[in-house]
Chains A and B, each alone.
Chain A
Amino acid sequence: MHYRILILIALCLAFFPVVARSNMPPVNVPPPVRGNDKKPATRVLRVDANVTIILTYSVPGEAPHDRARLFIPKRIADAQALNGAVRPERAMSAHPTWISGLALSAAFVTGGFWLVGRPKSSGAKLLVSLLVTTTVLITIGQSDLLGDIPSPWWMKRQPRPIPQWNMPGPHPLAPPAPLAPPNVPIIVEGNRIQIGVDVVILADGDHMELVLPKSLMPAGGLKQVGKPGI
């Protein structure tokens, strides 16, 4: 009786965080002020051989020629590294998970040995219930498990024609129209330039590149100053 009560308490402790994080609004309580919200996410990059910025002026004809483009490789724009602090749990995610897999395998193996060693009636009942539960879960979840797997080569399927859409409005399955950048005119005020900027995160790359419209290139062209890439 006592261990059941303690298990109940432990389960309560495990489930109450879910309840606490529900959307229940506080009563007459002002919204919490979290100090971290006021601190902007920043990262200091030192321009050196590992981080280079290339300034390019686009030639006429490259669309959109009136907007600047900043290309940033993903490894530099990694959001997890903002503020120089990586959450300990996310640092752990880089750790190989083979130990967890090994431990889980050991759990199944030792559990199987324990079931086999028990009296036939109880062990068999537990094993059967485990098999039934697993079968039910796989049956329910197979659409999620198998949805993205391509059909095997012996099951050639004809492409399904897109049904004709006769209803008013766009087809619900039609791809959305590409976003057109807003038409922001270039305004030059002394040493300040007001220009639209498109930021593109590249999957790979080892340098950042700022592409400005050729119309902003200073008279006389560019002169190499300082270290390359700066």
Chain B
Amino acid sequence: MSTSAFDIVVAPRIGRTGHPLFGVCALGLVATAALVAGWLPIAFSIVTVFLFAGPHNWVEARYFLSRLPARWGRLQGFFLVGFIGVVGLTAGFAGLSYLSDVFGDHWLSGLAGWNTLLALWIASLVHLRSRQNPRRDWLWIWPVTFFLIALTWLTPMLWSLGLVYLHPLIALWILDREIRRTRPEYRRLYHVCVLAVPICLAVLWWKLAGALDLEGDDLLRRITHHAGAGLLDGVSSHLLVATHTFLEAVHYGVWLLAIPWLGTRTNLWSVPRMPLGRRSLTWTRGLQVFLALSACVVIGLWLCFHANYPITRDIYFMLAMVHVLAEAPFLLRAL
């Protein structure tokens, strides 16, 4: 029996997994956030918004700039609809907030209309993205969108409250796509860590189901109403604020810790290496100036929070709709 001279020895495939330290840090962050949010929800909310709201927006802006293609090409329609939607819907949201006295009883109709436009905008983006790949069949988005529109005209306030709670979860999805792109060996470990979020939510709701309502001054009322205390009768405001603050802390952790760490392997921290930065020196300098000015805005936001936290908080959450809306097109592009 002769043997071939070219016996190919196939080495056993060794699965590459992420470093356990990543899992330890992620689980520690989630658990700590849940613990502090449940114990001191108001203080935790004030401190996290004060410290991390501005910086996380700055990192988001940097990330979105790094993900923009140098030339849109076939994605021109997608990005045009995306940017027009972000700017238009933010302006509409700001107008709705300031003109609530003018609208009177029709303010709710205005809110339902804004929610409708938001749903149609996202559906349009999904439709455009679906057409870019023949293997994608995402047209189910239209019946789902119309169903959600029907819901928003029945309960516009609850619909908006749903956005408040679902928005922090979008960061987890974006992080998943970023891990898949840059460090796929960490993806399985990341999925295990994400399971800690519903477990912590379950513990929070179990422990705080019978908690007393939070009582306090005007700032506390703003925070509790933001979390839905005025809409969900019978649910403790302590529980609502703790839930919202926990999810926001996870959101901040993703943008301030995970994304920058993953960005060490990408062009996140190097403007000349970004697609837009490679177009020309003018673009490079323009992006660097924009990011520097954004950093000054973050410092200014801290000063405004220090000077008058309640008013600054209201203005910030109104204008922060930009970053909430901007996540939609970039998440869809990552899918």
Chain B neighbourhood of A155, CB < 8 A = none
Chain A neighbourhood of B143, CB < 8 A = 107-108, 110-111, 114
Chain B neighbourhood of A110, CB < 8 A = 142-143, 146
Of all chain A residues, which has the CB nearest B236?
A20
Interchain CA distance A24-B205 in the complex, whole Å: 12
Contact of A117 with B194 in the complex, beta carbons under 8 Å: no
Within 8 A of A (CB), among B145-177: 145-147, 149-151, 153-158, 165-166, 169, 172-173, 176
With A10-B166, A21-B235 in contact, is A16–B202 under 8 Å at CB?
yes
Chain B neighbourhood of A100, CB < 8 A = 149-151, 153-154
Of all chain A residues, which has the CB nearest B139?
A114
Partner of A27, one of B139, B149, B210, B236: B210
With A17-B232, A89-B157, A103-B153 in contact, is A12–B202 under 8 Å at CB?
yes
Within 8 A of B (CB), among A1-56: 1-3, 5-6, 8-10, 12-13, 16-17, 19-22, 24-27, 29-30, 32-35
Chain B neighbourhood of A6, CB < 8 A = 169, 172-173, 194
Shortest CB-to-CB span from B239 to chain A, Å, is 6
Partner of A20, one of B137, B153, B239: B239
Most chain A Cβ neighbours within 10 Å, of B109, B165, B205: B205
Contact of B153 with A16 in the complex, beta carbons under 8 Å: no
With A25-B210, A97-B154 in contact, is A17–B147 under 8 Å at CB?
no
Contact of B173 with A107 in the complex, beta carbons under 8 Å: no
Q: Report the interface size for chain A: residues with CB under 8 A from the other chain.
A: 45
A106: interface (CB < 8 Å): yes
Contact of B156 with A92 in the complex, beta carbons under 8 Å: yes
Contact of A107 with B235 in the complex, beta carbons under 8 Å: no
With A5-B194, A103-B149 in contact, is A24–B210 under 8 Å at CB?
yes
A91: interface (CB < 8 Å): yes
Contact of B146 with A16 in the complex, beta carbons under 8 Å: no
Of all chain B residues, which has the CB nearest A33?
B212
Contact of A92 with B108 in the complex, beta carbons under 8 Å: yes
Partner of B153, one of A8, A99, A118: A99
Interface string of B202-229 (1 = CB under 8 A from A): 1001101111110100000000000000
Contact of B147 with A117 in the complex, beta carbons under 8 Å: no
Q: Report the interface size for chain B: residues with CB under 8 A from the other chain.
A: 51
Interchain CA distance A12-B169 in the complex, whole Å: 12
Partner of B201, one of A12, A103, A108: A12
Chain A neighbourhood of B176, CB < 8 A = 2
Interchain CA distance A180-B166 in the complex, whole Å: 56
Chain B neighbourhood of A17, CB < 8 A = 232, 235
B197: interface (CB < 8 Å): yes
Shortest CB-to-CB span from A112 to chain B, Å, is 8
Contact of A10 with B169 in the complex, beta carbons under 8 Å: yes
Interchain CA distance A60-B150 in the complex, whole Å: 59
Chain A neighbourhood of B181, CB < 8 A = none
Interchain CA distance A17-B208 in the complex, whole Å: 11
Interchain CA distance A25-B210 in the complex, whole Å: 7
Chain B neighbourhood of A12, CB < 8 A = 198, 201-202
Contact of A20 with B235 in the complex, beta carbons under 8 Å: yes
Partner of A97, one of B153, B211, B232: B153
Contact of B169 with A9 in the complex, beta carbons under 8 Å: yes
Interchain CA distance A179-B331 in the complex, whole Å: 66
Shortest CB-to-CB span from A120 to chain B, Å, is 14
Of all chain A residues, which has the CB nearest B137?
A118
Interchain CA distance A223-B226 in the complex, whole Å: 57
Interchain CA distance A103-B145 in the complex, whole Å: 9
A61: interface (CB < 8 Å): no
Chain A neighbourhood of B195, CB < 8 A = 5
Chain B neighbourhood of A117, CB < 8 A = 139
Within 8 A of B (CB), among A62-116: 88-89, 91-92, 95, 97, 99-101, 103-104, 106-108, 110-111, 114
Chain A neighbourhood of B191, CB < 8 A = 1-2, 5
B140: interface (CB < 8 Å): yes
Interchain CA distance A35-B194 in the complex, whole Å: 39
**Which A positions have Cβ atoms within 8 angstroms of B?**
1-3, 5-6, 8-10, 12-13, 16-17, 19-22, 24-27, 29-30, 32-35, 88-89, 91-92, 95, 97, 99-101, 103-104, 106-108, 110-111, 114, 117-118
Q: A10-B166, A20-B239, A114-B140 are in contact. List 16 more A-B contacts (CB 8 A).
A: A5-B191, A16-B202, A19-B205, A19-B209, A20-B235, A21-B234, A25-B210, A29-B210, A32-B236, A33-B212, A92-B154, A95-B109, A100-B150, A107-B145, A107-B150, A111-B140
Q: What are 11 sample pairs from A and B whose C-beta atoms fall under 8 A apart?
A: A16-B205, A20-B239, A22-B209, A29-B211, A32-B236, A92-B155, A100-B153, A103-B147, A104-B147, A107-B147, A114-B143
